[in-house]
Amino acid sequence: MSADNTSQQINKTIRKDVEKIVDKCDIEDICAQCDAASNKTVSYCRCWKSKKFPFCDGSHNAWNKETGDNVGPLVITKKQA
- Contact footprint for ligand FES (CB under 6 A): 45-47, 49-50, 56-60, 71-73
CB of 60 to ligand FES, least distance (A): 4
Nearer CB in complex with ligand FES: 2/68: 68
Question: Is there a catalytic annotation at residue 51?
Answer: no
Q: What is the DSSP string of 11-28?
A: -SSTTTTSSS------HH
Give dist(CA 31, CA 51) in Å, integer. Answer: 22
- Inter-residue contact 69 to 31 (CB < 8 Å): no
| Closer to ligand FES by Cβ: residue 57 or 80 | 57
Looking at the annotation, which residues are catalytic? Answer: 20
